[in-house]
Structure 1
Amino acid sequence: MTATTAEQIEGWRSAIGREDVATQMLDPSALARFALAVGQPAGSVPPLAHWAFFLSEPADDQIGADGHPKRGNFLPPVTLPRRMFAASDIAFEAPLAVGEPARLVSTIADVQHKSGRSGDLVFATVERALEQDGTTRVRERQSYVYREAGAAVAMPEPAGEDSAGERWTPDPVHLFRFSAATFNAHRIHYDRDYAKHVEGYPSLVIHGPFTASKLAELAARDGTLARFSFRAQAPLFEGQPVFLQRGDEQGAYRAERADGAVAMTASAKFH
């Protein structure tokens, strides 16, 4: 384990305020592929439909060994080897106009270093505003976490009885389709040998945003979403069921693993 230096942290924090502006048409075909990937009809608009657009598009020589874009373009060049999508807070301010031009403004809002039981952690926070016709349609505050490689992870031992809620068991094809629909080349989601022998997971890892999409769909059955937030707490693995359920409080949702551990918590507010 290599200690992160104060100089490195200050260098990474110098990215705060960095802005990226992109424009594109909200392609109906991209939306249809995303909807199908999350288990919805091709003509529908899933709750997190904005994730179908403004995808990262690195060239082949700009992809790292893990499948992620190489460090140091928009996000800071954090040297900790593992990077994950940790959390998001999304405000739905107006419906998307699919088939019309849009503008996405992304800004690095914060970079924080913390020390945990597993070693150094660096959190990068990105604020995103998707605009059309001068109106902000979706605001999102995304958090990414960088960490040490760590020890290998064992497959969770199933509990004696299934948890409550809806049983969801995505297979490798589901994971591949979600990776394709979001242009996510991180190898832990489709390359079993890499996931097991390089990153130390017991199986393919279910995408955090895939799980969040399923929880958002569950929440959307309770009303029209005005806000949706989620936080990943533990990894989920292909080959075991996931249980999607409402929490004890109104507007609370969670995804539980086969061993009963809470893998993701979410909250919703409604119009």
Structure 2
Amino acid sequence: MLGQPFVLNSHARRLNSTIAEELDAVRKWRGDAVGASTVLWDRMDPRQITLLDQTIRPYLPASYPRLPRDSQVSDIAEGSAMPPGAHLVYFPSPSNEFELSPDGYLADEAPPKPFEQRVWAGGLMEFNPANPLRVGDLTSQTKRVENVTIKERAGADPLVLVKLALQMNNSRGACATEYRNLAYMKPIDLGRRIVKHNRQPDFIHRMTPSEILLFRYSALSWNSHRIHYDSVYACQIEHHPGLLVHGPLTCTLLLQFLHGNMPEKMALRSFDYRAISPMYCQQELHLNGRWLQATQPEQDQPAADGTRRCELWATNNEGGIAMKGVATLVPLF
């Protein structure tokens, strides 16, 4: 027993030394990564947005608006304003398969080992209502690693938080900006947090995502993260109970759900959102929306400038919040 404290202290020192080395490697990577940017060009191809519409429309309520179609090929007509969030299925990465991380995701956004398990933690989308992305536009996307933060936690391994900034411009100027937050951690069993919402929605929709929905969205967004289509990897390697619904897909569904409930002559200016807990394939999820009162607590009315805010959230099959955010709408003049 006299030697036990020495053994424990020795183990603790080795553990602390290992963590220190891991974090030093992250700091070195951060020095190279932050500020680095890449530019991709893409044409907002009518067939791509048509396939996205074909993928998600069956899961949305009948109020989801229909976009005009080309009379010859039945694709969504060029010049149509793209629905919010549709940019997520454009600007595919040029990385080939052997340049990806082992989990199938992009390696250039990832810190060094052992911080290999990642989640889409949330972000902010800002849109220019005066210059929306339109079908057929030739558009550039400049992606920059804006910040890398190490979050040390008592009693748990550190997190590495990576913030990306993506600026999109067409021939008319700036049309959208996205700030994307990714969290990287050592491989762990990600337990689901059940956080209930105490608000009643003004509009709600129920749906059950299928394997086909996840596969098609993965293909459209050129997202090869294996947790969304490889059930053996998702269950046996990352220890999930099933395939995970994409964070970007959940975000897109919430925005399209809002699009189908948006007041006339209003446009989306921003969506600030956060992922709380995973949702899984073949488990029912709910899309929820609630208008926020801008002036008087008991009255649903817009601000003096016509701005309106809507709280959006998705809940999983246990009633816990999976993603929540606030959308800001402005009048179209």
TM-score (ref. length: structure 1)? 0.88
Q: Aligned to 2:111, which of 70, 73, 77? A: 77
Does residue 270 of structure 1 match 2:307? no
Equivalent residues in 2 for 1:186-201 (5 A)? 186-201=225-240
Supply the distance in 1 between the matched residues of 2:110 and 2:316 (Cα, whole angstroms): 32
Corresponding position of 1:9: 26
Does residue 64 of structure 1 match 2:123? no
Q: Is the 8 A contact 2:89 2:222 kept in 1?
A: no
1:185 counterpart letter in structure 2: S
CA-CA distance at 1:185 after TM superposition: 0.9
User: Do the aligned partners of residues 97 and 152 (structure 1) sit closer, same or farther apart at CA in structure 2, a change above 3 Å counting?
Assistant: closer
Corresponding position of 2:256: 217
CA-CA distance at 1:152 after TM superposition: 6.1
Supply the distance in 2 between the matched residues of 1:238 and 1:76 (Cα, whole angstroms): 26
Instruction: Judge which range, 146-155 or 84-93, deviates more.
Output: 146-155
Equivalent residues in 2 for 1:21-100 (5 A)? 21-39=39-57, 43=76, 45-69=82-106, 71=107, 73=108, 75-79=109-113, 80-93=115-128, 94-100=131-137
CA-CA distance at 1:12 after TM superposition: 2.6
CA-CA distance at 1:34 after TM superposition: 2.2
CA-CA distance at 1:57 after TM superposition: 3.1
CA-CA distance at 1:155 after TM superposition: 11
Higher CA-based Rg: 2
CA-CA distance at 1:266 after TM superposition: 1.4
CA-CA distance at 1:19 after TM superposition: 1.2
SS of equivalent residue, structure 1 residue 204: coil
Does residue 208 of structure 1 match 2:243? no
Q: How many residues of Structure 1 are paired with residues of Structure 2 in the alignment?
A: 262
Supply the distance in 2 between the matched residues of 1:32 and 1:232 (Cα, whole angstroms): 27
Instruction: Judge which range, 55-64 or 253-262, deviates more.
Output: 55-64
Supply the distance in 2 between the matched residues of 1:84 and 1:226 (Cα, whole angstroms): 26
Q: Is the 8 A contact 1:92 1:139 kept in 2?
A: yes
Equivalent residues in 2 for 1:165-180 (5 A)? 165-180=204-219
Task: Determine what percentage of the aligned residue pairs are the same residue.
Answer: 26
Supply the distance in 1 between the matched residues of 2:206 and 2:186 (Cα, whole angstroms): 32
Corresponding position of 1:160: none
Which segments of 5 or more consecutive residues in structure 1 lack a partner in the other structure?
A: 157-162
Q: Is the 8 A contact 2:189 2:240 kept in 1?
A: no
Supply the distance in 2 between the matched residues of 1:131 and 1:155 (Cα, whole angstroms): 38
1:124-167: per-residue Cα shift (whole Å, max 9, x none)? Answer: 111111001150000111111101211364798xxxxxx98311
Q: Which runs of 4+ in 1 moved over 3 A?
A: 152-156, 247-250
RMSD of aligned Cα (Å): 2.4
Supply the distance in 1 between the matched residues of 2:189 and 2:89 (Cα, whole angstroms): 34
Corresponding position of 1:241: 284
Does residue 258 of structure 1 match 2:258? no
User: Do the aligned partners of residues 76 and 263 (structure 1) sit closer, same or farther apart at CA in structure 2, a change above 3 Å counting?
Assistant: closer
CA-CA distance at 1:52 after TM superposition: 2.1
